Amino acid sequence: MTRAAFVAELRRKPPAAVARLGTVVLSHPVLDAYSGFVPPLLGVLQVRCDLTYQQAALLLSIGPLTSGLCQPAFAWLTDHVDSRIFGAAGLAVAAAALSCIGLADSFPTLVVLFVLGMLGVGAFHPVAAASVGQMAGRRRSMGVTLFFVAGMVGAAMGPIISTRVTAIEPNGFALLRWVMIPGLITAVLLHLAIRNVPHKHDHEHVADMPRAEARQRWTAVMLLWAGNAMRFWVNIALLYLFVRWTEAVVVREQPLLDASRVPVVGSILCGEMNALMMLGMGVGGFAAGMLVRHGRERLAFVLVPLLLGPAIALFPLCGRWGGYGLALLAGVAYASVIPLAISVAQRLLPHRTSLASSLMMGGGWAMAALAPPVMEWIRREHGLPTAFHVVAVVLVASGIVGMALPAPLLRRLG
């Protein structure tokens, strides 16, 4: 698969179809920008809402748990009612709830707003990813890769937007709510783009395949899910550890800074770290989509985490500038193969692409919900360096899981 082949495929499509595909792809960075609003603000929200460290870690866990668990449910509803409405509705809800996070003045209200926002994130992803796969035709992997990379661009911008806007004195959190407007407009455009995209596929015969073939395909899907769950676990673990790591860096760089200002200054650095990690995810995902041929994905699932994962253990040795570089590399290390996993899962289950997409994304996110409280416990009991070392081990383990994927089956899918 090459970029030229993908462009040639698009040129054969009617302009209206290309415009609809582009609308779906471009809606992803808008949605993921909102999903990136809260993590870098965790230290500030901890002060504003008088949270304990355990409550702060729990809040960050709620995001992937909510989004992850609801994605299979929305995928089932999409299959059941044969509608794409949940994608646009999810984008609108996420934009509204996450932009209003400053309305929270206690842990319960913070949880309500965050849960609503992440429900919207969960509703959007399986519908939009399946729509892209359907609309991209024979170039499904490249279409899904562009969708994934576009999301990472938005996820990189979200932390920058939220930390900059909320830092505006005296009412930055009040200003943040107006940022919902682009999301609401995009939700309308998304609905118009995908409302008539066929949901049923020309692969219904796959549902009647021999039992041995079905078992092999579902085994491969579960292995892909396990690998993605580990990768998303690494993602959420790093989002939490960055909050604590950046606060330590700020104290080291500015030892005379008032303690009440440390979370605010740290949130700016944390937003930059999150943005660089998301940028690395996008660069890695695009490179994998361009370079890895259909049917040859297994090698990437194995080599990328084995070769790059150990670098995460170096974070405790780095200051600000070394951390920037490692954040970018960490994004490449754990996220390069995620769009490949989505594409392969859709090809393994072509009659259930929404379900396949939800398992690869939401199914992995749900498992990642355990990461922040586990990381907080390890940090408190054994120190920040040990926490980073554990994250590196989990990422390497995802490469070991990749070794169990049936290479002949992936090659047969082509």
8 Å CB contact between 76 and 95: no
In this prediction, residues 336-360 reach a mean pLDDT of 82
Number of domains the chain is built from: 1
H/E run at residue 88:
helix 85-99
Distance CA 122, CA 189 (A): 19
In this prediction, residues 269-288 reach a mean pLDDT of 87
Distance CA 228, CA 361 (A): 8
Q: What is the 3-state secondary structure (H, E, C) of 163-178?
A: HHHHCCCCCHHHHHHH
Using alpha carbons only, give the angle 196, 361, 266 rounded to the nearest 5 degrees.
120
Distance CA 127, CA 73 (A): 11
Confidence (pLDDT) at 62: 85
- Nearest alpha carbon to residue 331 among 290, 282, 368, 281: 281
pLDDT value at 1 more than 50: no
pLDDT value at 139 more than 90: no
The rounded mean pLDDT for the chain is 85
- pTM summary value: 0.75
Q: Residue 142 sits in a domain of what CATH number?
A: 1.20.1250.20
Among 41-50, 142-151, 262-271, which is the least confidently predicted range? 142-151
pLDDT class for 414, splitting at 50, 70, 90?
Answer: low
Confidence (pLDDT) at 384: 94
In this prediction, residues 190-195 reach a mean pLDDT of 86
> What is the tens place of the pLDDT at every residue in 363-386?
777 778 888 899 999 999 999 999
Confidence (pLDDT) at 136: 67
| Range with top average pLDDT, 38-47, 79-88, 317-326, 340-349 | 317-326
In this prediction, residues 44-56 reach a mean pLDDT of 88
pLDDT value at 207 more than 60: no
Distance CA 59, CA 82 (A): 34
Q: What residues have CB less than 8 Å from 275, skipping those under 6 apart?
A: 156, 157, 159, 160
Question: In which domain, by residue range, is 311 found?
Answer: 3-413
In this prediction, residues 216-245 reach a mean pLDDT of 92
Structure tokens at 90: 């999810």
**Residue 175 CB neighbour total at 10 angstroms:** 13
Q: What residues have CB less than 8 Å from 193, skipping those under 6 apart?
A: 19, 20, 23, 24, 27
